[in-house]
Amino acid sequence: MNFRYPIFLDLTGKKCLVTGEGYEIAGKVKALLDAGAEVVYVNPRTEPAIEALAAAGRIRWQQRDFVADDLDGCFLVISDREDNSEVFRVAEERNILCNSVDDPGHCRFSFGSVHRRGDLTIGISTNGGAPALAVRLRQRFEREIGPEYEELLEALKELRPEITARLKDFAARRELWYRMIDSNALGMLRRGEREDARRLLRQMLEEAVSSISRSDTSAGSGRP
């Protein structure tokens, strides 16, 4: 195994195929849907959660065994069959990313242990060496990285276009970003002081813009 290249994929509108019926399969289908993928499920049988998604039109369920042509136009495939070798072989031939659940010998990528807070995503991998360690680390992050981080990220995302537009100098923007992240805004959000936190971030932006303006004025006047 050499699952050492971390990556976050944009699956919006991408055809992703799932086949098999292991105990994790419904979770895999739901995760692909949450990522915006176009999900096709191929298997003669399914569990109620997947059947409900198919009935609601959220996924396509091909109620039969997997055939090679099912991978036409696919971006990736997740297989949880008793024997994943054929799915993996066809995927390799067509340069399609393949993950076979609990079968690393038939995988081109692996799933890490993930902690999410809104758009903040923390993925942990041990390259298959000790998955339990990844789980424990994720549990630690769940305790220590609470909803305040999601709120801080949302506030910063809202300010990002304005920061880019008003601070043309990259070094000034970088300094402001780290000042904001290291500020007391996170503590305020943790205490539920949402408006105060947003005011603080806004104040820091205005101060940064004013500082640049004063520097430009001073340089233009010829004063040191």
Q: In degrees to the nearest 10, what's the CA dihedral of 182, 190, 115, 38?
A: -100
| CATH fold label, 15-111 | Rossmann fold (3.40.50)
Q: Which amino acid is at 146?
A: G
Say what the pLDDT of residue 2 is.
87
CB 183 within 8 A of CB 200: yes
CA-based angle 127:130:135, to the nearest 5? 100
Q: Enumerate long-range contacts of 116-123, CB under 8 Å, 24 or more apart.
A: 117/145, 117/146, 117/147, 117/149, 117/150, 117/153, 118/150, 118/153, 118/154, 119/150, 119/153, 119/154, 119/157, 120/145, 120/149, 120/150, 120/153, 121/8, 123/6, 123/8
Q: Please report which helix (H) or strand (E) contains residue 133, including its range.
A: helix 131-144
3-class DSSP state of 80: strand
What's the Cα-to-Cα distance from 41 to each of 22, 70, 119, 153, 221, rounded to whole Å?
A: 13, 10, 27, 34, 69
**CATH 2.160.20 assigned to 112-145:** no
State residue 80 phi and psi, 5-degree precision.
-135, 60
pTM of the model: 0.84
Say what the pLDDT of residue 128 is.
82
User: Radius of gyration of the chain from Cα atoms?
Assistant: 24
Nearest to 102 by CA among 24, 184, 19, 2: 24
Q: How far apart are CA 33 and CA 57, in angstroms?
A: 12
Place of tokens 């500082």: 211
Say what the pLDDT of residue 214 is.
72
Say what the pLDDT of residue 220 is.
52
Place of tokens 């008793």: 82
Q: How far apart are CA 216 and CA 208, in angstroms?
A: 13
> What parts of the chain have a pLDDT lower than 70?
215-224
